[in-house]
Amino acid sequence: MRRRRPLADVTVIGAGPAGLAAAVAAAESGAGRVLLIDQTFRAGGQIWRHRDEGALPRKARSLLGRARTAGVWFVGSSTVIDALSPNDLVVDFRGRADHLETAAVIVATGARERFLPFPGWTLPGVTGVGGLQALLKGGLDVRGQRVVLAGTGPLLFAVAAAVADAGARLLLVAEQAPRDRIMRFASHALRNAGRLAQALRHRVAFARTPYRVGTWISRAEGGDRVRTVTVSNGRDRRVLECDWLGAAAGMIPVTDVAALLGCAIDSGAVRVDSQQATSVPAVWAAGECTGVAGDAAACVEGEIAGRSAAGDVTGAASLTLQHARDEGRRFGALLAATFAPRDELRALSDPDTVICRCEDVRLGALQPGWTQRQAKLWTRLGMGACQGAVCGPACTALFGWDGNAVRSPLGTPTCAAWMDGLRPHE
């Protein structure tokens, strides 16, 4: 049987802001064949997930347009499932797996939400904060439905606006970070005119809903779906009836692909230098997989990585880009300091609260003195379909465990697809 063997000069994994910017920069810097892979069907990532390109921010539209002009080849509904080496990826292209030989790789896998378990968090109707937004973008209809949001950081603000715009009855937006930290953050971050305008736009969109800082979710109740939620500010508890609860404890980098390629991970983020190079030769990383700092920083890092991977080291080292990168890193540090999950969020679970959703492992079955591997082998924690993507970060926050080691394959391909992708080259 003949096999197609795709060859790329630069392969970008993840088509969010960082990946798009990286692919555009690489292509515009003269890299030959630039591939942009994403697990969803359209470029844009989570933040620019869209059905109508016209509704996207200007930066997003511009990058999408430039990607097309520069000949970036977008491959949607595809995931990296394995790697024989950093230059020989195994990609599941919509159910058919194949090798992808590539001279350079840019990992731009973004971030996902951190979920800290609380009683009732497995009830249908309880989603992440970004999770609810992703479902809305996927076509979820919440018109007239009662929604409570309990989370943290700029994403909470953006999702509140999106939920209100979608016609829901947004009852409460609870920000877990304490007031003094929010004030300090505002005085720094909102000096930036663009950020201030965006924050105001969002607040206007959900103007009729109270925004409570220093307030967090403590439990959800219901039978076949969520009916009531309890929020707390440490002094008072308040019970609200609702149809949807979006709850999360901030964002964390997605590092699985980078780890599979052997890249060093520091404190949960891919380690990069000022050129966005990882510890592995010919592998770069950009955007929130290297630290959560928002889409503007991701675009800058993507551009640096794209130029660097295309051989334009001078361009990647330009003062303008490096200055913007430094600013992005400072903003990331400010985000981390402001919106770090408060201690109360680590103590919400009862012994009966599910920690590992895939394998139904409850808090009472775990002991803080264990290691991650011990918990895994003794209780099946993290052994299910998500392979610890949800409970791993939760247990890091709860017990200080180090999370699951990354094992191939990623993304649960069928055995047939995985085997197919591992066939030797002709």
Partner 1 sequence: MPSPDVIVVGAGLVGALCAVELAAAGARVTLIEAAFAGGGSTGAAMGHLVVMDDTTAQRDLCAWSRGRWNELLASLPDDAEHDRCGTLWLAANDTELGVASRRAHEYRLAGVAADVIDSRQLELLEPALAHGLAGALLVPGDGVCYPPAIARALVCRATEAGVVLLSGMAVRSVGSSQVLLADGTRLTASAIVIAAGVESKTLVPDLPLVPRKGHLVITDRHPGMIRHQLVELGYLRSAHALDGASVAFNVQPRRTGQLLIGSSRELAGFDVSVNHSIIRDMLARAMRFVPRIGATRAWRSWVGFRPATPDALPLIGPWPAMPGVWIATGHEGLGITMAPGTANIIVAGILGRRPAVSPDAFLPHRAFPNRHPVFGIP
Partner 2 sequence: MTNIEVWIDGVPRRSPPGVTVAAALLRYGITAFRRDGHGAPRAPLCGMGSCFECRVTIDEIPERRACLVMVRDGMHVDTGA
What tokens were used for 84? 């024989």
Minimal distance in Å, beta carbon 298 to partner 2? 16
How far is the C-alpha of 18 from the C-alpha of 298, rounded, in Å? Answer: 5
Contact 364, 352 (CB under 8 A): yes
Task: Rule CB under 8 A: choose which of 389, 394, 395, 397 binds partner 2.
Answer: 389
How far is the C-alpha of 174 from the C-alpha of 132, rounded, in Å? Answer: 15
Query: 272 CB contacts (<8 Å, ≥6 apart)?
Result: 278, 284, 285, 286, 290, 301
Handedness of CA 23, 26, 27, 31 (dihedral sign): negative
Q: Which stretch binds partner 2 (CB under 8 A): 126-134, 166-174, 181-189, 337-345?
A: 126-134
How far is the C-alpha of 139 from the C-alpha of 107, rounded, in Å? Answer: 28
1 lies in the site for partner 1, by CB under 8 A: no
Angle at 312 between CA 306 and CA 316, to 5 degrees: 65
- Is residue 47 classed exposed, middle or buried when 0-12, 13-18 and 19+ CB atoms within 10 A define those classes? buried
Residue 134 interacts, among partner 1, partner 2, none and using kind-specific CB cut-offs from 5 to 8 Å, with partner 2
Residue 141 interacts, among partner 1, partner 2, none and using kind-specific CB cut-offs from 5 to 8 Å, with partner 2
Please identify, using beta-carbon distances, which residue of 67 and 358 lies nearer to partner 2: 358
Tell which positions 64-93 bind partner 2, by CB under 8 A.
77
Residue 343 interacts, among partner 2, partner 1, none and using kind-specific CB cut-offs from 5 to 8 Å, with none
Short-list 311, 305, 324, 296, CA closest to 263: 305
How far is the C-alpha of 277 from the C-alpha of 294, rounded, in Å? Answer: 19
Short-list 159, 172, 196, 170, CA closest to 49: 159
Task: Rule CB under 8 A: choose which of 117, 119, 214, 413 binds partner 1.
Answer: 413
Tell which positions 326-385 bind partner 1, by CB under 8 A.
370-371, 373-374, 377-379, 383-385
Please identify, using beta-carbon distances, which residue of 82 and 359 lies nearer to partner 2: 359
Contact 302, 18 (CB under 8 A): yes
Binding mask 66-105 for partner 1 (x = CB under 8 A): ----------------x-x---------------------
Please identify, using beta-carbon distances, which residue of 137 and 202 lies nearer to partner 2: 137
Q: Which stretch binds partner 2 (CB under 8 A): 1-9, 59-67, 127-135, 327-335?
A: 127-135
Interface residues with partner 1 (CB under 8 A) are 82, 84, 370-371, 373-374, 377-379, 383-385, 387, 407-409, 412-416, 418-419, 422-424
Point out which residues bind partner 2 (CB under 8 A): 39-41, 46, 51, 77, 112-113, 115, 122-128, 130-135, 138-141, 224-225, 254, 354, 357-360, 384-386, 389-390, 412
